[in-house]
Amino acid sequence: MAPRAPHTRAASHRDLTRHAAARASGPTTLRADRGDMLAFGPSAHAPAAPVAVVYLHGRRGLAAKGCPWLRDGATDLGWLVCPTGVETDEHGLSSWGADLFAQRDVIEDAFRAAVRSGAAADRRVVVGFSQGSHVANDLVRCGLGRFTGLVLLGADLHASPERLRAAGVRRVVLGAGSRDPAFAPAKEEAARLAGLGVDARFVDLGAVGHTYAAADEGALAEAIRWAGGA
């Protein structure tokens, strides 16, 4: 979820509403097996065979807060679908828990909803933030997820080139804000993967802390488009 540290730009509900309202069209919902999921439909620039992009929020997060910040890049690829994590607490905040199979089921449900709405079944991108990034990497590592592109934000993690290839991953983006403790590790991991033959790159989200609310929204949008094959 968005950080509360004084040095980090935290997005208020009003900021997010203004951010979404500035777009050409508003959010919608897609019917999935687990209930409705927040989504944004393809933009006019999306390909004829739209990509399915699924956003995985952070621990104790809300899909509705992070989803609008990813819209620019994701909807140029196709459908952006933002499911809710496996566990929800008494405050209505959600996390992904420790059950990889339950995590996989939620994510696959989101992809199926996008495909039913016209997305290509074989073009699957995951954008994760914080815990969501670790979920995506764990599913790949354990052979429980198949994706074509990954954008892993705000996470200090290590990925296996062999597992990425086995999962069908063609491009990987790691990213963080310059005030995020994950900034240096993510940058180093992107360089390590690239040195091992993975098509990987790093995206600097700008002078922000542990958040998906990039100061440089254009850089994040371009990174998502690139991960999706654009």
Q: What is the pLDDT of residues 67-104, one digit of tens each?
A: 999 999 999 999 999 999 999 999 999 999 999 999 99
DSSP 67: G
Enter the tokens of residue 192: 């390590």
Neighbours of 225 (CB within 10 A): 20
In whole angstroms, what is the distance from residue 53 CA to residue 126 CA?
6
How does pLDDT run along the chain (230 residues), one tens digit per residue? 433 333 333 333 333 333 433 344 679 999 888 789 999 999 998 999 999 999 999 999 999 999 999 999 999 999 999 999 999 999 999 999 999 999 999 999 999 999 999 999 999 999 999 999 999 999 999 999 999 999 999 999 999 999 999 999 999 999 999 999 999 999 999 999 999 999 999 999 999 999 999 999 999 999 999 999 98
Position 35 scores a pLDDT of 83
Q: Is 61 helix (H, G, I), strand (E, B) or coil?
A: strand
What is residue 1's predicted lDDT score, i.e. its pLDDT? 40
What is residue 33's predicted lDDT score, i.e. its pLDDT?
Answer: 82
Q: For strand 78-82 and strand 35-40, is the pairing parallel, antiparallel, or unpaired?
A: antiparallel
The C-alpha atoms of residue 147 and residue 76 are separated, in whole angstroms, by: 18
For 36-58, the DSSP string reads EEEEE---TTS-SSPEEEEEE--
Phi, psi (rounded to 5 degrees) for 225: -60, -40
What pLDDT score does 23 carry? 43
pLDDT at position 25 = 63
d(CA 85, CA 62): 9
For the chain, domains (ranges, CATH) are 17-227 (3.40.50.1820)
| Separation CA 215–CA 226 (nearest Å) | 19
